[in-house]
């Protein structure tokens, strides 16, 4: 029995269109997390180029948007570029690392069918952390 059997509407319609499982594309999820620094000279990596993660917490785009906001704030200061990029790293590295590691953990626990894993607790912790100022 299909895990999506009980779904109706669009999900049900799409499920019915999958008639040949050999035509379904399966790809591994990949994670990229670049160690510090994410810049060299005047070139900086942000978003998925610096910290692509699995979709298990749904925070990839949010982290990229935060990167852009923090970068714009830092680049409008009177400091030199090196100092601006250092401050950018100070503000972004640990937060992005936390999201990446937490998302990978959630995915691993899901694939292990770990019923003792507190996914709701992790999501609450993530929401609390992402509500903090950047």
- For 34-79, the pLDDT digits (tens) are 999 999 999 999 999 999 999 999 999 999 999 999 999 999 999 9
Which one has a higher pLDDT value, 6 or 83?
Answer: 83
For position 6, what pLDDT does the model report?
77
For position 2, what pLDDT does the model report?
61
User: Cβ contacts of residue 42 below 8 Å, gap of 6+?
Assistant: 81
* Domains annotated on the chain, with CATH: 22-130 (3.50.50.60)
């Amino acid at each position: 029995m299909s895990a999506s059997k009980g779904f109706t509407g669009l999900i049900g319609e799409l499920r019915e269109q999958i008639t040949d499982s050999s035509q379904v594309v399966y790809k591994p999820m990949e994670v990229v997390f670049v160690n510090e620094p994410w810049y060299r000279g005047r070139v900086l990596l942000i978003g998925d180029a610096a910290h692509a993660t699995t979709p298990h917490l749904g925070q990839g785009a949010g982290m990229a948007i935060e990167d852009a906001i923090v970068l714009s704030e830092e680049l409008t200061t009177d400091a030199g570029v090196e100092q601006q990029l250092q401050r950018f790293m100070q503000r972004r590295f640990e937060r992005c690392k936390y999201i990446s590691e937490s998302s990978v953990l959630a995915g691993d626990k899901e694939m292990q069918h770990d019923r003792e894993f507190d996914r709701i607790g992790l999501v609450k912790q993530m929401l609390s952390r992402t509500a903090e100022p950047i």
